[in-house]
Each structure stands twice: as structure tokens, then as C-alpha cells.
Amino acid sequence: MAALEEDPPPPATAAAAPGSASGTSDNEITVEESSFVHTEPPQDGTAPPVFATCFVHYRAWVQGSLHKFEDTRQEQHPIELVLGKEKKQMTGLGIGVSNMRSGEHALLHVSWELGYGKEGSFSFPNVPPMADLVYEVELIGFDDVKEGKARSDMTVEERIEAADRRKIEGNEYFKEKKFEEAMQQYEMAIAYMGDDFMFQLFGKYRDMALAVKNPCHLNTAACLIKLKRFDEAIGQCTTVLSEDENNMKALFRRGKARAELGQTESAREDFLKAKKYAPEDKEIQRELRLLAEQDKALYQKQKELYKGLFGPRPEPKPKASNFLLLFWRWLVSLIGYLLKLFKRKNE
């Protein structure tokens, strides 16, 4: 059941939170005015070239405040940034990203001239006028497309093909047990299949897209289970089940993650549903057997606990002697007999 989907969130941020000096490292990028500073600029072709389509996760704050105005991780969708063609308010972010490697995390400080400018933004995101910004950024990866073709300019077939290439690369990383790198590839593939894109598809095109998107979610879940990030794995499987409620592999992997978290009843429910579609699957049977053994062990443990709590069952007491009762009855009878005898003599 751990096999990859052949036919079908990214590592945790390591950069320091804004204002924290303890997180400063050699990988940190600082953007000031119209220049950038990088302690060791990539010279090996690992940085994205101009017009590359970059996939980025970031959290953004107004510098010197607690006002976080955007968080792509919370929204569970990375943004697409075509270097050299980014929006004006993302100029500083683009400069920083252009000097990062795939998988790198960085803390970017962007002046207001390279951000939302003198006027700021009063819609979404909400940014005050002349606000210097701080970005906590992860470059998930990039596609080196010479013409800088954005997803929105691609045909349906081009987007599905680009996503499928990423899925295949992710599978190669998975086979090498490079789970973080594999997840980066899967996340980029999923980014090509964004909600806005899927909403527009129907018929064979939707089926083609799901045949790439769902396996990427399932393979991401497999990576997360290997990395013991079980809550995130459950989320990936639930996304697949929202599209395909009978997906056996999604049910199995969600059940496995739930079992690891001690959510025994929910795990058993998932395994039993999965068993309906694969009654002979040995791994499903094994997981159900493990849950049964856990239940038995828990019962025995509770039994011992209660035994110690209430102590041994008391032995029944022997019945009290009824000698006094018999004596009293005999005495009453004797008195009654004597009274009758005395009455007869008087008569």
C-alpha cells in the first residue's frame, strides 16, 4: 500500500520569524532599496533564470508590526511568480526569489518602493501606505520556460503535461527516499491543477487532470507518513476523498495516519471501507489485526487498573446464628401453654 501512484505541505519553514535575530543564517536574503544582498549567490545554475515560472510559499508582514497580510500556507496554495513579469507590488519578492535555490528558505526585507508603494493596498491584501515588508519565503521549485509562460496562458493539455512531468520527477525522488524533495515536486504539480483551473474542467479533461492531481496528493501523503507528519497526511487523503469517496488508497493511508495518532475508531472505519474494494489486500488485513490486538491489550490494561483501584472482591460472610430467635419463639410458646393450663384449672 505504500507504493507510489504511477498511473495516477513542503517542509516546515526554517527561517526566523520577523524581528528575530536568532534565525539569521547564511541563507538569509535581504532586499534593501533597489539592491539585494545574498551571502553566497548561486553560481551553479540552481537559481531560477529570468522568465522562469517559480512556485513560492510565503508569509508576509508589515515590518515592525504584527500585521500579517498574507499566508499562502494557510490558504494551502503556493503562488506562481514568473520572474521578470511579476506584478509591480511583487518586484522586491521577485528579486529575492531570483537569487534562491529550489527548496531554500529565506527572510526577505523589502522596502515600500519595491512593494505596495506610496498608496499601499486597501483591498486584498490589506497593506498600509509606504509600508516596508518582511517575507518568510520558500522557493518550492521552478520551471525554466524561456518564454515565461504563466499557467493562465497555457492550454489544458500543457498544464496537465507540465504537472505530470513534476509527478514523475517526484516519484524518482521518492524511490531514492528523498521525501522532502519528492513533496516539492508533487506540490508544484498540484499547483498546476489549482482550484480555479479544476472548476473550469468537465468530462474527459477533468478526468485527465484528476488522474495527475489525485496521485500527487496520495504520494504526498505517503511521504508525510514516512516523515511522521500524520495530521498533514490526513489532510492530503481527505482532499482526494472529497473528489473520489471510494478511493481505496486514500482510505488506507488516512486510516494508517489516524492509527498512528491513536484515532482507533476512525482508523478502523477507514480500513473497513478500504477492505470493501480490496477484500484480499494483506496490508489492510494486517492493519485491522493490529487494531484488534491494540484493543485487546487496552482492555487487559484497563481490567488490571480497575482491579487495583477497587481491590479484591470481598468474601461472602457466613450467615449469623439464629439461636436467639429460636429461644425467643420457644419462650413465647411456653408462656402461652402455661396461660392456657392456668385458665383450665380456674374453670
Per-residue pLDDT of 49-64, as tens digits, reads 888 889 999 999 999 9
**Selected residue with higher pLDDT from 45 and 270:** 270
Residue 144 lies in a domain: yes
Average pLDDT, the chain: 82
- Reported pTM: 0.68
Residue 204 lies in a domain: no
Residue 322 lies in a domain: no
Residue 85 lies in a domain: yes
Range of lowest pLDDT (2-16, 179-193, 284-298): 2-16
Residue 265 lies in a domain: no
8 Å CB contact between 234 and 257 = yes
| β-bridge partners, 62 | 133
Residue 180 lies in a domain: no
- Residue pLDDT, tens place only, 88-100: 999 999 999 999 9
Give the torsion sign (CA, 78, 130, 29, 12). Answer: negative
Range of lowest pLDDT (117-121, 158-162, 195-199, 270-274): 195-199
Residue 107 lies in a domain: yes
Q: Which residue has the cell 484480499?
A: 280
What CATH number should be reported for the domain holding residue 143? 3.10.50.40
How many residues belong to the chain? 347
Give the torsion sign (CA, 175, 176, 181, 185). Answer: negative
Range(s) of the domain holding residue 83: 9-150
Provide the grid cell at 163.
504537472
Residue 244 lies in a domain: no
Provide the grid cell at 27.
541563507
Is the pLDDT score of 25 beyond 60?
Answer: no
Domain count, the chain: 1
